[in-house]
């Protein structure tokens, strides 16, 4: 056997979204990149997703490889490749659960689908079947890697089997736990033993997330700092006690940045540019100002925000200080969707300051790329941030970010202090408290650095562009974690 094949494992990677087939946020980015990067490290990986209508409508060869009869219903397993890769994707096709228009998690009214518990419980049953090689596919994974609450019941279900693969559960955001009423627990016909605070019960409710946190052999999250933070009451969302209890099994690995986030090759940009030739960024700024209806000005700093418009992202802090930011002077571009009152608040300010504030409500992948390239400074004042991708994209695009010192933001951005500017390690501006006046100070600090053009700005941009956030690097860490999980899992006792 060749040396590099020695540690090849069969990995079943389970997620509720994966770019480019379906994406609502960072989980989609990770699940589109990490399995492919693991395959690049000679691992035998299958990605399993629900067969949403949006996926079924896409181009690509799809074949039915199995029919499975699960406790909650029948499903077909379809196989296709993840576009742009050789990675096999298995789609759990249960039309009553997944063949419907729109978002994977909510209807057009913005409310969660009323049958989310049933939908994702069925998905978890399918993951468990595939993991136990019960679908007749002659493929038995060594390890199942589950991601976020939608896959949380799978480690719990697998724990009922003696000869099961090892399980890893990754927390991408502890705030979304998949909580449902007690009646749902009984409707799902789960084993009685699971109705306990030591299993799936969370203060009288059914918690899908706890299925992963209690039953997986190992748990990880998407940055080392967030792995520590979630063990505290401030960030633990009521689960910090459990996470402290399992701290010996808990670690953090930073996400990577996908290859398509590269300013030198990005087809969405007005002009490509790179670390060595950063001047093309000016053309992107001009094009972006034009696109967003902002006056062309090379000198005024253009700040940008991209993301979900929810309290987590600190959008309320930004709304509070926008009238101050525009006085600096500065322009600010927003791309996002989320809670209606934030959307309306931003749109009102854009009407009040049409020369300085531009707001695009919606989800627009190509525009996100053009904003990363055209903006001078990126805004990411999240109250908490498990990893965060946009600050890493902006570092790659020479757009120094302003970030709150939490989670992955703390792990990826080096604050500009006299010392770090001097020794060339600074990559952005970091502030310490989720407070609008503290954020405003950080914005002033960043625009001052930008405006003085005192020789520090370009090195700051370039130092950010030099950071290695390749998925290969993160995938290597995951592989180490898989090895550790496999070695710790006790072999099944002989029957």
Residues paired with residue 69 on neighbouring β-strands, in sequence order: 74
Binding-site member from 257, 368, 375, 475 for ligand ADP (CB under 6 A): 368
Position 337 contacts ligand ADP (CB under 6 A): yes
Taking the complex as a whole, the smallest distance from the CB of residue 363 to ligand ADP amounts, in Å, to: 4
Least Å distance between CB 439 and ligand ADP? Answer: 18
Residue 26 CA to its chain's centroid (Å): 2
Measured from the CB atom, the residue of 208 and 334 that comes closer to ligand ADP is 334
User: Which of 50, 212, 314, 336 forms a contact with ligand ADP (CB under 6 A)?
Assistant: 336
Tell me if 164 sits within 8 A of 154, measured CB to CB.
Answer: no
365 binds ligand ADP (CB under 6 A): yes
76, 271, 308, 444: which one binds ligand ADP (CB under 6 A): 308
Query: Does residue 363 interact with ligand ADP by CB under 6 A?
Result: yes
Contact region with ligand ADP (CB under 6 A), list: 85-93, 156-164, 319-327, 330-338: 330-338
Q: Confirm or reject binding of residue 389 to ligand ADP (CB under 6 A).
A: yes
Contacts of 195 (CB under 8 A, 6+ apart): 182, 185, 201
- Tokens describing residue 225: 């700092």
| Nearest position to ligand ADP, beta carbon | 26
Q: Which stretch binds ligand ADP (CB under 6 A): 84-92, 98-106, 148-156, 301-309?
A: 301-309
Among 17, 29, 93, 376, binds ligand ADP (CB under 6 A): 29
Q: Residue count at the site for ligand ADP (CB under 6 A)?
A: 17
Burial 145-180 (b: 16+ CB within 10 A, else e): bbbbbbbbbbbbbbbeeeebbbbbbbbbbbebbbbb
Helices (H), 353-470: 365-374, 390-396, 407-412, 418-423, 436-452, 457-466
Nearer to ligand ADP, 134 or 470 (CB): 470
Contact 227, 221 (CB under 8 A): yes
Let me know: does 215 contact 154? Beta carbons within 8 Å.
Answer: no
The CA-atom distances, in angstroms, between 46 and each of 80, 252, 332, 367 are 10, 23, 42, 31
- Give me the sign of the Cα torsion angle 242, 248, 249, 250: positive
Under the binding rule (CB under 6 A), the answer on residue 34 touching ligand ADP is no
How many Å apart are CA 130 and CA 443, to the nearest integer? 50
Q: Which is nearer to ligand ADP, 217 or 316 (CB)?
A: 316
Q: Is 115 in the site for ligand ADP (CB under 6 A)?
A: no
**Residue 250 or 368 with smaller CB distance to ligand ADP:** 368
Positive or negative, the CA dihedral 345, 348, 354, 360 is positive
In the complex with ligand ADP, which residue's Cβ is closer, 23 or 249?
Answer: 23
Choices 23-31, 177-185, 202-210, 476-484; region in contact with ligand ADP by CB under 6 A: 23-31
Q: Which residue from 307, 400, 401, 428 is in contact with ligand ADP, where contact means CB under 6 A?
A: 307
Say if residues 282 and 298 touch (Cβ distance below 8 Å).
yes
Q: Report if residue 26 touches ligand ADP, rule: CB under 6 A.
A: yes
Among 99, 42, 49, residue whose Cα is nearest residue 77: 49
Choose which of 214, 335, 375, 379 interacts with ligand ADP (CB under 6 A): 335
Nearer to ligand ADP, 85 or 420 (CB): 85
Nearer to ligand ADP, 98 or 176 (CB): 176
Task: Figure out which of the listed residues 43, 116, 331, 390 binds ligand ADP, where binding follows CB under 6 A.
Answer: 390
CB half-sphere exposure, 490, CA atoms < 13 A: 6
In the Cβ-directed half-sphere of 493, how many Cα atoms lie within 13 Å?
0
**Which residues would be at the binding site for ligand ADP (CB under 6 A)?**
25-26, 29, 306-308, 335-337, 363-365, 368, 387-390
């Amino acid at each position: 056997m060749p040396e590099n094949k020695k540690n090849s494992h069969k990995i079943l990677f389970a997620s509720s979204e994966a770019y480019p087939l379906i994406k609502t946020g960072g989980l989609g980015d990770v699940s589109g990149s990490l399995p492919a990067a693991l395959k690049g490290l000679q691992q035998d990986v299958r990605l399993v997703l629900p067969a949403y209508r949006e996926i079924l409508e896409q181009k690509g060869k799809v074949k039915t490889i199995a029919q499975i009869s699960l406790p909650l219903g029948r499903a077909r397993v379809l196989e296709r490749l993840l576009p742009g890769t050789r990675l096999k994707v298995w789609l759990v096709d249960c039309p009553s659960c997944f063949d419907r228009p729109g978002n994977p998690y909510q209807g057009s009214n913005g409310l969660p689908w009323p049958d989310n518990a049933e939908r994702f419980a069925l998905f978890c049953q399918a993951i468990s079947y595939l993991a136990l090689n019960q679908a007749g596919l002659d493929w038995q994974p060594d390890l199942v890697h589950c991601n976020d609450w939608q896959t949380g019941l799978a480690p719990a279900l697998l724990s009922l089997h003696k000869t099961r693969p090892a399980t890893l559960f990754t927390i991408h955001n502890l705030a979304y736990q998949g909580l449902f009423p007690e009646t749902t627990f009984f409707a799902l016909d789960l084993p009685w033993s699971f109705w306990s605070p030591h299993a799936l019960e969370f203060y009288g409710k059914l918690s899908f997330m706890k299925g992963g946190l209690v039953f997986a052999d190992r748990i990880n999250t998407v940055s080392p700092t967030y792995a520590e933070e979630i063990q505290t009451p401030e960030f633990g969302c009521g689960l910090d006690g459990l996470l402290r209890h399992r701290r010996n099994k808990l670690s953090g690995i930073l996400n990577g940045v996908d290859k398509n986030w590269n300013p030198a090759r990005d087809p969405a940009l007005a002009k490509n540019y790179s670390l060595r030739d950063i001047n093309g960024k000016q053309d992107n700024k001009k094009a972006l100002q034009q696109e967003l209806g902002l006056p062309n000005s090379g000198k005024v700093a253009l700040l940008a925000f991209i993301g979900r418009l929810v309290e987590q992202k600190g959008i309320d802090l930004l709304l509070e200080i926008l009238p101050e930011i525009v006085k600096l002077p500065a322009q600010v571009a927003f791309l996002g969707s989320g809670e209606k009152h934030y959307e309306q608040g931003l749109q009102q300010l854009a009407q009040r300051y049409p020369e300085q504030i531009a707001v695009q409500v919606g989800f627009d992948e190509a525009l996100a790329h053009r904003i990363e390239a055209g903006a001078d400074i990126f805004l990411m004042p999240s109250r908490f941030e498990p990893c965060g991708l946009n600050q890493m994209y902006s570092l790659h695009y020479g757009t120094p970010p302003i970030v709150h010192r939490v989670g992955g933001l703390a792990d990826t951005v080096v604050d500009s202090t006299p010392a770090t500017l001097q020794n060339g390690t600074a990559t952005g501006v970091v502030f310490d408290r989720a407070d609008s006046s503290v954020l405003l100070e950080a914005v002033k600090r960043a625009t001052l650095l930008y405006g003085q053009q005192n020789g520090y700005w370009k090195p700051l941009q370039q130092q950010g562009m030099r950071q290695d956030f390749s998925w290969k690097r993160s995938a290597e860490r995951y592989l180490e974690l898989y090895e550790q999980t496999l070695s710790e899992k006790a072999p099944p006792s002989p029957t």
